[in-house]
Amino acid sequence: MSYQRQWIKHCRACGSAVTYRLPDDGDTKQRAICNDCHLVHYENPLNVVGTVPHLDQRVLLCKRNIEPRKGKWTLPAGFMELAETTAEGAARETMEEAGANFKIGPLFTVMSVPRVGQVHLYYLAELINDEFHPGFETQEARMFSEADIPWDELAFRTVQETLKHYFEDLHAGKFEVHTFNID
Nearer to Zn ion, 36 or 168 (CB): 36
Among positions 21-50, residues that touch Zn ion (CB under 5 A) are: 34, 36-37, 39
Task: Give the integer Cα–Cα distance in Å for 54 and 51.
Answer: 9
Sole window of 14-22, 60-68, 69-77, 94-102 interacting with Zn ion (rule: CB under 5 A):
14-22
Among positions 121-150, residues that touch Zn ion (CB under 5 A) are: none
Planar angle of CA 26, 29, 35, nearest 5 degrees: 85
- Is the separation of the CB atoms in 111 and 119 below 8 Å? yes
- Compute how many residues bind Zn ion; rule: CB under 5 A: 8
134-154 burial, b for 16+ CB within 10 Å, e for fewer? beebbeebebeeeeebeeeeb
Question: x-or-dash pattern for Zn ion, window 86-125, by CB under 5 A?
Answer: ----------------------------------------
Task: Give the integer Cα–Cα distance in Å for 76 and 139.
Answer: 12
13 binding Zn ion? (CB under 5 A): yes
In the list 8, 10, 14, 176, the residue contacting Zn ion (rule: CB under 5 A) is 14
Least distance between Zn ion and beta carbon 14 (Å)? 3
Cα 179 → chain centroid: 14
Residues engaged in binding Zn ion (CB under 5 A): 11, 13-14, 16, 34, 36-37, 39
